[in-house]
Amino acid sequence: RDKMQYNAGVLERKYPSVEEAAQIGINATPALWNKSSVHDDFLDVRLGTGDIPSFNEIETPKEQIMAEHDPLNNKTEEIKLAMSTLKDVPVSISLYDNRFAGIVSSDREKALNIARTMSVQIASAHPYTDVRMCVVFPMKERDHWNYMRYLPHVWTPDGKLRLMCCDKNSVGDVMYFMSEMIRGRLEKVKEAANGDKDKKVLPHYIFVIADSSLLAEEAIAKYILNPTPDMGISVIMLADSADKL
């Protein structure tokens, strides 16, 4: 049980709640931007809390075939079962290993809250030199995304363009930049056929797509719907049903 409590504590420290993540950024604590591209948990993001398999392997003695049954063995199996799960601990997803993640809910407010939770953690834990975000959202939800305007992660590396768009004009400018960036990266991969395939492509761009209809006529859609490691991007898409992803 001590190990289970220890592991639960490790997860809580590793994946703070959205409120804690926000305070890390506001107060600029030492935990700010503590996940860089060299870390194993790069782009690991907390989704919420739940039950996950325990990290500890619990072994119980096996009864000998000819030995008399020991009633205590029933108890050990109960203990093993009870300790096989960590309950109510942070549950995370790797946006590096999972390049396309869908947030599907008919309750728009819940979907927005999950996306907000993920974006705040990304900005709090990762330096903008390693991770940047591009957000596409409907004009009517502008207030929901206004907080991201103040993050350094939503600017292009040269600081000339904010990667946030909610209408056709801003989508055109932002997606032109993003398309050129992705095409440039893919061309470099072709030129360096024998390059280090495990080397991370940086900065890694996270697309948060809260309104996919704005991208319907954009050439970049083919990249967003099928992101590959060579592009150095991940996508979080919101939808009210799975068939709209």
The DSSP output letter for 232 is T
| DSSP percent split of the chain into helix, strand, coil, nearest 5 | 45, 20, 40
Using the structure block, give the residue that is written with the tokens 């024998």.
194
Q: Give the pLDDT score at 146.
A: 95
Cα–Cα distance for residue pair 36/77, rounded to 1 Å: 42
Q: Give the pLDDT score at 60.
A: 59
Is residue 125 within 8 Å of residue 37, measured between CB atoms? no
C-alpha closest to that of 13 among 53, 37, 38, 46: 46
Cα–Cα distance for residue pair 225/150, rounded to 1 Å: 28
Q: Give the pLDDT score at 199.
A: 86
CA angle 203, 46, 98 (to 5 degrees): 55
- If you compute the radius of gyration of the chain from its CA atoms, what whole number of angstroms results? 22
pTM of the predicted model as reported, rounded to 2 decimal places: 0.86
Residue 1: exposure state from Cβ atoms within 10 A (0-12, 13-18, ≥19) = exposed
Structure tokens at 79: 């203990």
Residue 105: exposure state from Cβ atoms within 10 A (0-12, 13-18, ≥19) = middle
Residue 20: exposure state from Cβ atoms within 10 A (0-12, 13-18, ≥19) = middle
Tens-digit pLDDT string for the chain (245 aa): 677 788 888 888 889 998 999 999 999 999 999 999 999 999 999 998 998 887 766 665 665 565 566 666 666 666 666 667 888 899 999 999 999 999 999 999 999 999 999 999 999 999 999 999 999 999 999 999 999 999 999 999 999 999 999 999 999 999 999 999 999 999 998 887 666 667 899 999 999 999 999 999 899 999 999 999 999 999 999 999 999 98
Q: Residue 55 CA to chain centroid, in angstroms? A: 21
C-alpha closest to that of 44 among 113, 102, 118: 118
Q: Give the pLDDT score at 78.
A: 65
Using the structure block, give the residue that is written with the tokens 């050439």.
219
Q: Give the pLDDT score at 190.
A: 85
Q: Give the pLDDT score at 204.
A: 98
Q: Residue 46 CA to chain centroid, in angstroms? A: 7
